[in-house]
């Protein structure tokens, strides 16, 4: 299939240095709120790139559950492929593709486990079906068919039919602690606007324009 003629012009805006917040978390907050207002489906969905000890990269989409000045938090099974990669190499990259706004944000940093108390606090906010889903799957493991998952789910529904569903010991959150942000705004003729924030030893951030 030849896609060479499939082309869109990016005309929705420009990004100027004078309009950027000095703190990248504040800039991210601004863009995230604009993504919400634009009605982008699941604006908190991001691609997470990991690399294992052998240097093999892996990529998948996960959901950002909350963020603040300490980092960006998502939740997963600690036995998953991504979790094994992070254990071997905690350096990760996340990318939010807000295509409708002709924008993307790329964030580099270190992934660290959140406390069990923090995982529990979030787990208790999940619908019961999602809580059971955390229990039922040995994420990334091979299985012969969906029927086995459905049978296990029924067993768990019966087991936890009364009272609260406990937090699984093998499930919890990671916080991505950034050291680099890139804010990308598409431009006409592929002359895009790109700005990179880099964390300095004193805790401050430098801002530099990158060529498209």
Residues in the annotated binding site: 7-10, 60-65, 75-76, 82, 104, 122, 126, 130, 139-140, 184, 190-192, 194
Report the C-alpha gap between 20 and 25 in whole angstroms: 11
Q: How many CB atoms lie within 10 A of CB 90?
A: 16
| Annotated binding residues for FMN | 60-65, 75-76, 82, 104, 139-140, 184, 194
| Annotated binding residues for substrate | 7-10, 65, 122, 126, 130, 190-192
Question: Residue written as tokens 């924008």?
Answer: 103
Token pair of 198 as six digits: 């880099």
Element (H, E) at 26: helix 24-37
| 84 in Cβ contact with 155 (< 8 Å) | no
Please report the DSSP string for 82-142 in residue order. HHHHHHH--EEEEEEEEGGGTEEEEEEEEEEEPPHHHHHHHHTTS-HHHHHHHHH--TT--
> Which residues are marked as active site?
190
Residue 70's SS3 state is coil
Burial class (CB in 10 A: 0-12, 13-18, 19+), 62: middle
- Residues paired with residue 191 on neighbouring β-strands, in sequence order: none
DSSP 4: T
């Amino acid at each position: 299939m030849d896609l060479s003629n499939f082309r869109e012009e990016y005309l929705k805006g420009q990004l100027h240095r004078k309009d950027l917040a000095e703190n990248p978390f504040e800039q991210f907050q601004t863009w995230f709120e604009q993504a919400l207002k634009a009605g982008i489906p699941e604006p908190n969905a991001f691609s997470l790139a990991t690399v294992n000890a052998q240097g093999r990269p892996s990529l998948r989409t996960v959901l950002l559950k909350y963020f603040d000045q300490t980092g960006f938090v998502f939740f997963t099974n600690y036995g998953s492929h991504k979790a094994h990669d992070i254990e071997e190499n905690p350096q990760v990259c996340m990318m939010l593709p807000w295509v409708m706004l002709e924008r993307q944000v790329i964030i580099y940093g270190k992934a660290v486990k959140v406390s069990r108390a923090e995982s529990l606090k979030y787990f208790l906010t999940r619908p019961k079906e999602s809580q059971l889903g955390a229990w039922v799957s040995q994420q990334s493991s091979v299985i012969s068919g969906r029927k086995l998952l459905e049978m296990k789910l029924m067993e768990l529904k019966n087991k936890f039919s009364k009272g609260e569903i406990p937090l699984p010991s093998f499930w919890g959150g990671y916080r991505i602690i950034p050291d680099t942000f890139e804010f990308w705004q598409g431009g006409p003729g592929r002359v895009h606007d790109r700005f990179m924030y880099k964390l300095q030893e004193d805790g401050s951030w430098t801002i530099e324009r990158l060529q498209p």
